[in-house]
């Protein structure tokens, strides 16, 4: 009769001990290897909210940046929350709208690099400009957040390798080949195909990025563009903020045919936190809502009030499915299964979306993700690879390839007559 009494407490203790072990594993990993995040859109928030006038901007605490700043939500990022989220290195996106004409986009990108560098300089105790993997490690050793810059979209260079080289010279360390629209030399994932992937110029651009040591970012590009870039690339590529298409079918995510090529290339997918790219039910919801809106507009032409009333009713009857930390972990699981543990990183996309998944609404949520991964059986060594070490390896391999090409001249292309 006493045996059940003895066994019951042991059963009750099992779950808390397991949870504590997962938390300890995650904490140990993030202490040893803080998150190296591939994509954060604070710079475009500075442009949209303050027109890059940051003299009175307090980056220690942005929790008061609500609707009064015309963006309709509070910012996801500040220095206090980055520390809480165990972020040790950050690629700041110097994104500008893909709707800009190329000459305007070039100017705007330089302005975004300027404001990002000014922001870094304003907080020398917390932030440090990083241009190399050694710089990242130096910043970490000093307790500062290594701050790198990535261009989001090839429109930022105006189809010019000369401009590309100058962007590298002033600090850009990756470029996403496209954003939401095609460039004159590469197809985007979310635009009608024009080039069947990369043109000859696009392939030369990948070669030139490799020669310099600038990372080739394949988030946002069409699957054929991904394959063309991998055919040409001699250094590891990155996906700065993408998920697995087998888990969520959005065109912005990476198909298995590409994931399977990453081990040979050495590249990595930095898994995004944007809910619409994580949860497949949410993706289906957005498609259904778009179809319903089109149906209502066809039935109630010239009557926007009637359309709105009926669409509001549809929204009430069909709530948006919400993404969770578990959904994000599912993408990491899948990429591990297809590409391997050495090809995974983190690229949240905070301040470039409305919110992260439940429990990861802002940059403070990364520890919760790593606890979830630890619960799924990821070791501390695995978690350290995902958080930091894979990204550092990719940077070092890109730098090593560039060093091996030091005697190679820049690729020349003629300027227009």
- Regarding whether 286 and 171 lie in a shared domain, the answer is no
Give the range of the structural domain holding residue 313, as residue numbers without chain letter.
Answer: 280-321
- Regarding whether 208 and 140 lie in a shared domain, the answer is yes
- Regarding whether 317 and 262 lie in a shared domain, the answer is no
pLDDT band at 404 (very low <50, low <70, confident <90, very high): very high
- Regarding whether 186 and 38 lie in a shared domain, the answer is yes
Q: How many domains does the chain have?
A: 2
Among the three residues 290, 321, 352, which one is the final residue of a domain in this structure? 321
- Regarding whether 230 and 311 lie in a shared domain, the answer is no
pLDDT of residue 417: 85
* 247 within a domain of the structure (yes/no): yes
pLDDT of residue 71: 60
Q: Point out the residues that are catalytic.
A: 39, 41, 152, 179, 220, 241, 349
Q: How confident is the model over 165-177, as a mean pLDDT?
A: 98
Q: How far is CA 67 from CA 41, 316, 364, in A?
A: 18, 23, 21
* 417 within a domain of the structure (yes/no): no
Give percent of the chain with pLDDT exceeding 90. Answer: 93
* 14 within a domain of the structure (yes/no): no
* 72 within a domain of the structure (yes/no): yes
* 187 within a domain of the structure (yes/no): yes
- Regarding whether 136 and 177 lie in a shared domain, the answer is yes
Q: How far is CA 45 from CA 78, 95, 175, in A?
A: 12, 10, 19
SS (H, E, C) the chain: CHHHHHHHHHHHHHHHHHHHHHHHHHHHHHHHCCEEEEEECHHHHHHHHHCCCCCCCCCCCCCCCCHHHCCCCCCCCCHHHHHHCCEEEEEEECCCCCCCCHHHHHHHHHHHHHHHHHHHHHCCCCEEECCCHHHHHHHHHCCCEEEEEEEECHHHHCCCHHHHHHHHHCCEEEEECCCCCCECCECECCCCCCCCCECHHHHHHHHHHHHHCCEEECCCECHHHHHHHHHHCCCCCEEEEECECCCCCCCCCECHHHHCCHHHHCCEEEECCCHHHHCHHHHHHHHHHHHHHHHHHHHCCCCHHHHHHHHHHHHHHCCCCCCEHHHHHHHHHHHHHHCCHHHEEECCCECCCCCCCECCCCHHHHHHHHHHHHHCCCCHHHHHHHHHHHHHHHHHHHHHHHHHCCCCCCCCCCCCC
* 115 within a domain of the structure (yes/no): yes
- Regarding whether 76 and 45 lie in a shared domain, the answer is yes
pLDDT of residue 242: 98
pLDDT of residue 20: 60
pLDDT of residue 6: 36
Measured between alpha carbons, how far is 270 from 144 in angstroms, rounded to an integer? 22
User: Euclidean distance between the first and final Cα of the chain, in Å?
Assistant: 95
Residue 326: is its pLDDT beyond 90? yes
Q: What is the pLDDT of residues 80-117, one digit of tens each?
A: 999 999 999 999 999 999 999 999 999 999 999 999 99
pLDDT band at 416 (very low <50, low <70, confident <90, very high): confident
Q: How far is CA 201 from CA 100, 205, 405, 406, in A?
A: 21, 6, 20, 22
- Regarding whether 219 and 89 lie in a shared domain, the answer is yes
* 197 within a domain of the structure (yes/no): yes
Among the three residues 261, 296, 321, which one is the final residue of a domain in this structure? 321
- Regarding whether 291 and 165 lie in a shared domain, the answer is no
Residue 7: is its pLDDT beyond 80? no
User: Is-contact 373 386, C-beta < 8 A?
Assistant: yes
- Regarding whether 254 and 328 lie in a shared domain, the answer is yes
Cα dihedral: 396, 401, 404, 406 (round 10): -90
Rg over CA atoms, the chain: 22
CATH of the domain at 231: 3.20.20.140
Tell which residue, 328, 330, 333, 294, has the closest CA to residue 314. 294
- Regarding whether 369 and 310 lie in a shared domain, the answer is no
pLDDT of residue 397: 98
Among the three residues 291, 321, 351, which one is the final residue of a domain in this structure? 321
Q: What is the pLDDT of residues 270-303, one digit of tens each?
A: 999 999 999 999 999 999 999 999 999 999 999 9
* 23 within a domain of the structure (yes/no): no
pLDDT of residue 16: 45
Residue 67: is its pLDDT beyond 70? no
- Regarding whether 118 and 243 lie in a shared domain, the answer is yes
């Amino acid at each position: 009769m006493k045996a059940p009494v003895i066994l019951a407490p042991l059963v009750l203790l099992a779950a808390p001990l397991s949870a504590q072990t997962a938390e300890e594993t995650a904490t140990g990993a993030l202490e040893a290897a803080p998150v190296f995040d591939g994509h954060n859109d604070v710079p475009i928030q500075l442009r949209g909210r303050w027109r890059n006038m940051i003299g009175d901007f307090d980056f220690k605490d942005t929790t008061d940046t609500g609707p009064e700043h015309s963006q309709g939500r509070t910012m996801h990022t500040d220095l206090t929350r980055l520390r809480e989220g165990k972020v040790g290195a950050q690629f700041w996106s110097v994104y500008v709208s893909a709707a800009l004409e190329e000459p305007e986009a070039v100017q705007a990108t330089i302005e975004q690099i300027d404001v990002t560098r000014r922001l870094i300089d304003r907080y020398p105790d917390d932030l440090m400009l990083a241009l190399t993997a050694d710089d990242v490690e130096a910043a970490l050793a000093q307790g500062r957040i290594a701050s790198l810059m990535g261009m989001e979209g090839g429109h930022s260079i105006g189809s010019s390798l000369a401009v590309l080289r100058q962007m590298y010279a002033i600090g850009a360390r990756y470029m996403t080949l496209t954003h939401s629209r095609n460039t004159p030399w590469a197809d985007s994932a979310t635009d009608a195909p024009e080039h069947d992937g990369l043109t000859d110029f696009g392939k030369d651009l990948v070669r030139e990025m490799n020669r310099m040591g600038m990372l080739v970012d394949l988030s946002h590009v069409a699957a054929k563009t991904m394959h063309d870039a991998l055919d040409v690339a001699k250094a590891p590529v990155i996906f700065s903020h993408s998920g697995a298409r087998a888990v969520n079918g959005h065109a912005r995510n990476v198909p298995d045919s590409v994931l399977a090529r990453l081990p040979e290339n050495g590249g990595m997918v930095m898994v995004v936190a944007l809910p619409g790219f994580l949860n497949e039910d949410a993706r289906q919801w957005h498609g259904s809502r778009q179809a319903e809106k089109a149906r209502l507009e066809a039935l109630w032409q010239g009557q926007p009030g009637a359309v709105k009333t009926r669409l509001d009713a549809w929204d009430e009857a069909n709530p948006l499915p919400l993404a969770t930390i578990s959904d994000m972990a599912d993408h990491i699981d899948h990429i591990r299964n297809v590409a391997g543990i050495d090809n995974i990183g983190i690229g949240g996309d905070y301040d470039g979306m409305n919110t992260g998944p439940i429990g990861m609404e802002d940059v403070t949520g990364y520890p919760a993700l790593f606890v979830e991964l630890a619960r799924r059986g990821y070791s501390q060594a695995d978690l350290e690879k995902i958080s930091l070490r894979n990204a550092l390896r990719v940077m070092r391999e890109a730098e090593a390839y560039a060093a091996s090409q030091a005697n190679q001249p820049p690729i020349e292309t003629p300027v227009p007559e």
